[in-house]
Structure 1
Amino acid sequence: MATSTPYSAPLDNEKFLYKLVIQLLIFCQGSHRLLEPHLLAIGAKLRSGANSQELLSELQAVSKTLVHISKQAKQDVNVGEGDGAALQNNYLLERLDELLNDAEVPLRFQHQTSLLKQRVRANLSEDSYKKVIDSAITLLLNIKDYSVSEQKGIDVFLGDLSDRLDELGQDVEIAGQANREMIDNRENLNTEIHRQVGSLKDSTQAAEELDILKNQTAEYLDRLLEQLLEHKQIEDERQRDAQEKIELMTKKLQELETETETLRVKLKIEHDKALSDSLTGLPNRLAYNNRAEMELKRWKRYRAPLSLIIWDIDFFKRINDTYGHKSGDKTLALVAQLLLNNCRETDFVARYGGEEFVMLMPNTHAFQALEMAENTRKMIQSCGFNSNGENVNLTISCGISDFNESDLHDDVFVRADQALYQSKQNGRNRCTVFAA
């Protein structure tokens, strides 16, 4: 026992070290290409029975390699974070561009909005990016303040209109009162005439001498004539007052009609703008929602066929990135016009947002809609355009679904969207009817 004691601890430590090295090999195997040569060398030395001193150099090499890998990983993380921030910025700019395209911008802000769109679509530094976001927020706040101001102006006008109508109501009441007084005055005159005539009749019957009768008759006639003249003067004065009031009310009504017509025209213009896409001139999503609600009610009542088509321009982002956003805008306007030209008068086509369009087709089954959609798709495929001397090819895909028993609009929209997804998955430039 005494002779083995000096050597037992080193031998145990050696075995423990070997176990750790073997576990290290197992753990690190395949983890990184830079470690592989060192791990293979350590494995070979272990198999040849090398001692710990002989393994030390390879273990130190593994340690240095791990430090190097760790530093590289940190650098990759930093780069990844930078790329992530850039991707996030690009995403926000794309969303901002969509917002500016879809927003209904009042006329006085359209030039400012156009300039901001150009800045959004340019290559931006970090500082420029922040300035663009600030400018966009300022613009949207200004539009909001302007809209609130316009609404206040309408509220003031309506309040003023209400006050004027109250005044007119009072004038009408006064005119009515004057008319009632004229009627009362006429009745009083008639009563007095009857009384005078009755008195004259009684006097005539009671009179014994002709001269007395003549005098009484003349006296009654004088009083009657005086009352008639007084009545005429009162009637003339009231007639003048009534005429003045009528002329005043007529003038007020004409002013109200003019101002109301001006407001009606202004509200109609604003209403039309609120339902129209400023870039393509087509109805926008709000207009589509209104029309879809109306068509759904009609479909539920009459059960005539009704189909929905969702269109999506193929590789639209590539067109924007390759040829610029002006070409992207030109693409949207061209496709919108082609869709409009190739639908029937009873159909309804709108820009839903981005590069998506929607079409409602009354009295049309899904496969009838497919035939029309195919003709439109082929027409768009043949109608590219030129951008700075380069041909821009256009294709479009769509999904189609019709309304079935107990459907809500969202049910049909989801099915048409799924059919559109199938068109994209199957190579784009195609039309697909939803198949359950």
Structure 2
Amino acid sequence: MNNSSSVEQEKLLYKLVIQFLIFCQGSHKLLEPHLLRIGKRLKTGASLSELAPELQAVSKTLLHISKQSEQNVGPEDSPQQQNDYLLQRIDELLLNTAVPMRFQQQKARLRQRVKANPDPQSLNKVIDSAVALLLDIKEYAVAEQKGIDGFLSNLTDQLGEIEQHAEIVGQSARLTLDHRDQLNAQINFELSNIKDSTHQAKELASLKNMTGEHLDRLMLQLVEQKQMEDERQRQAQQQISLMTEKLQALETETETLRTKLKIEHDRALCDVLTGLPNRLAYKDRVEMEANRWKRYREPLSLAIWDIDFFKNINNSYGHKAGDKTLALVGQLLLNNCRATDFVARYGGEEFVMLMPNTPAPRALEMAENIRDMIEHCGFNYNGESISLTLSCGICEFTSHDQHDDVFVRADQALYQAKQAGRNQCAVFINEMGL
């Protein structure tokens, strides 16, 4: 089998892995941890061989789920419900995937095709397009990494050249000192000869001749030394000029790369639709705030917001109305929190808010004010008024807490608020009433 055929088969297998990931996301809670890890590995450009251990774990989990299904058979969703769910998962995957600027239009067109509710035949084409887009993004990321590696290699070579130029300049300086010492020795020698000639000369004419000869040799050596130093200085200045040019070029390239990396980093931490920080940015921030809380023990609360009946807005008014709702809620949360608070879109219709130096009762008071303001904001779409309310779950960090534990408890409080009728805020209370 030739190399091209092997590469094509590997691409096909890679495509099937991504299709499997899309199909299975959200299908079973036991699969989710494996699928999330596979998704992260795919985004970093992991090969099939690197994914093998995780895929084997998925296989074992599927066997376990299959055995459970045989023991507890329930009604299956209709094909249309399965297609709708699959389209929703594809849309969420596209929305939450960090996409370079060159793929933004392609991503937007694909999301439009997803929201158009394609028929079963068109659905396969949408899936193929989504997989192709993700593969293109992966190849682009690999190419970008190669470009950075190439830049670093070129940087190493240029630094090596600069080091060589510096060594040449140093050698020139050392040669100048050596020749200066030789010249001083020669001058002392000639002066000594002049002194001896003065004592040995018996006639003035003879003394003049011998002195003149010594002085001529001294003058000749001085002229030669000056010419040699002038040439060395010229060469040293040339080497210094070359080093300066290379250093300036390196500074320009480094600044360009630094700017590019900062832009890409900022994009990776930003939710495209709302402009808020995304889940990845939240994870970075909550770790920092949790470490600060552990050190200073100032109160820290976490609030999870969820838009009530968001799917009804999408179904009744269309996905554009849903996008506008998400953008509006994001801005309202951001504009009505304190400068020290942190707001991010966690995913779907969920938002998170970190409130430093804020105990749970105070966090509840603030959340209620925001919830009431959003309820009465007068949201409308195409001139039609839309009811917009949010539910909120709040939990304060307590001793020995990890931020994941606090998130779970805040999510439980959110569930309590939903169960109690929505459009309200709830603080987590455990079974002991704490």
The TM-score with structure 1 as length reference comes to 0.79
Q: Corresponding residue for 2:148?
A: 154
Q: Secondary structure at the match of 1:312?
A: strand
Letter in 1 for 2:389: T
After superposition, what is the alpha-carbon deviation per residue over 1:53-108, rounded to whole angstroms, capped at 9, x for unaligned? xxxxxxxxxxxxxxxxxxxxxxxxxxx98952222221111111111111111111
Q: 1:131 aligns with which of 112, 125, 131?
A: 125
Shift of residue 200, structure 1, vs aligned partner? 2.4
The letter of the residue matching 1:232 is: K
Match of 1:435 in 2: 429
Aligned position for 1:321: 315
Residue correspondence of structure 1 range 99-118 to structure 2 within 5 A = 99-118=93-112
Distance 1:306 1:202 in 2: 95
Secondary structure at the aligned position of 1:123 is classed as: coil
- Alignment CA distance shift 1:97-1:215 (3 Å): same
Q: How does 1:230-249 map to 2 (within 5 A)?
A: 230-249=224-243
Correspondence 1:309 to 2:303? yes
* Residue 166 (str. 1) matches residue 160 (str. 2): yes
Q: C-alpha distance in 2, partners of 1:356/1:119?
A: 24
Cα distance in 2 for partners of 1:244, 1:123 equals 69
Change (3 A) 1:390 1:229: same
CA distance in 1, matches of 2:186, 2:397: 81
Say whether 1:419 aligns with 2:413.
yes
Q: Distance in 1 between matches of 2:141 and 2:163?
A: 33
What residue ranges of structure 1 are gaps of 5+ in the alignment?
A: 1-79
User: Distance between the aligned counterparts of 2:204 and 2:300, measured in 1?
Assistant: 101
Cα distance change, pair 366–205 in 1 and its aligned pair in 2 (3 A) = farther
In 2 relative to 1, CA 82–365 (structure 1 residues): closer, same or farther, beyond 3 Å? closer
2:385 aligned counterpart, secondary structure = strand
Alignment partner, residue 365 of structure 1: 359
Of residues 353, 356, 371, the one that matches 1:377 is 371
CA distance in 2, matches of 1:298, 1:204: 89
8 A contact 1:312–1:398 mirrored in 2: yes
Deviation, structure 1 residue 208: 4.1
**Amino acid of the residue matched to residue 151 of structure 1?**
Q
Q: What is the 5 A alignment of 1:162-311?
A: 162-311=156-305
CA-based RMSD of the aligned residues comes to: 1.6
- C-alpha contact (below 8 Å) 2:83/2:120 kept by paired residues: no
Cα deviations by residue, 1:369-397 (Å, 9 ceiling, x for unpaired): 11211111111111242223321121111
User: Is residue 330–residue 345 contact of structure 2 (8 Å, CA) maintained in 1?
Assistant: yes
| Pair 1:355-2:349 in alignment | yes
Decide which of 403, 423, 436 is 2:397's aligned counterpart: 403
Which segment is superposed worse, 326-335 or 203-212? 203-212
Select the residue among 123, 134, 144 that pairs with 1:140: 134
Residues 216 and 145 of structure 1: CA distance in aligned 2, closer, same or farther (over 3 Å): same
Residues 210-256 of structure 1 show CA distances to partners (whole Å, capped at 9, x for unaligned) of 33333222222111111110000001111111111111111111111
Per the TM alignment, residue 353 of structure 1 is displaced from its structure 2 partner at its CA by 0.6
Structure 2: gaps (5+ residues): 1-73
Which residue is equivalent to 2:32?
A: none
| Paired letter, 1:260 | T
For the residue of structure 2 that corresponds to 1:124, the secondary structure is coil
Report SS of the residue matched to 2:78.
Answer: helix
In structure 2, how many angstroms separate the alpha carbons of the residues matched to 1:206 and 1:358? 104
Distance of aligned partners of 1:206 and 1:432 in 2 relative to their CA distance in 1, 3 Å threshold: farther
Size of the aligned set, in residue pairs, is 357
Q: Deviations over 1:319-361 (max 9, x none)?
A: 1111111011101110111111111111111111111111111
In structure 2, the residue matched to 1:343 is: 337
Give the Cα separation in 2 of the matches to 1:280 and 1:206.
Answer: 102
AA partner of residue 114 (structure 2): V
Cα displacement (A) at 1:165: 1.2
CA distance in 1, matches of 2:192, 2:323: 95
Please state whether the residue corresponding to 2:304 is helix, strand or coil: strand
Task: Describe the superposition over 1:145-181 as per-residue Cα deviations: whole angstroms up to 9, x where unpaired.
Answer: 1121122122112211111111111111112111211
Residue 287 of structure 2 aligns with an amino acid whose one-letter code is E
CA distance in 2, matches of 1:394, 1:402: 27
Deviation at 1:206, TM superposition (A): 4.2
Contact 1:304 1:363 in 2 (8 A): yes
Q: Distance in 2 between matches of 1:384 and 1:184?
A: 87
Asked if 1 retains the 8 angstrom alpha-carbon contact of 2:299 and 2:357, the reply is yes
Q: Please say if residues 400 and 431 of structure 1, whose CA atoms lie closer than 8 Å, have aligned partners that are also in contact.
A: yes
Contact 1:383 1:393 (C-alpha < 8 Å) held by counterparts: no
User: Residues 193, 312 of structure 1: CA spacing in aligned structure 2 closer, same or farther, 3 A cutoff?
Assistant: same
